[in-house]
Amino acid sequence: MYPHHGTLASLGVRSYSYQFDDDLNQFRLPGFASVELAADQRLTKTLSARASIENVLDRQYYVGFTPTPTIGQPRLWRVGLRWSR
């Protein structure tokens, strides 16, 4: 995290090692890593703007194999406002 004059930026890495997708341990999912970026900018005392990107590198990864491969979400952008008291 990096705070500076009402702006808060963060970078994260989410990673998983291999795991099994079924109760019989027949379908092994490979591990993967995903990079995330987020930024908040305070606009007023109670309102801030937020932007975030998940899967920044737009990597393809498997989230299911029972028995058809299922692919996780591609790059995801979000922009919004946050109100707090």
Please, what is the average pLDDT of the chain? Answer: 90
Which residues are CB-contacts of 81 (< 8 A; sequence separation ≥ 6)? Answer: 47, 48, 49, 50
**Does residue 66 carry a pLDDT above 80?**
no
**Does residue 22 carry a pLDDT above 90?**
no
Q: How many domains does the chain have?
A: 1
Domain that holds residue 54: 2-83
Q: What is the pLDDT of residues 23-60, one digit of tens each?
A: 888 888 888 999 999 999 999 999 999 999 999 999 99
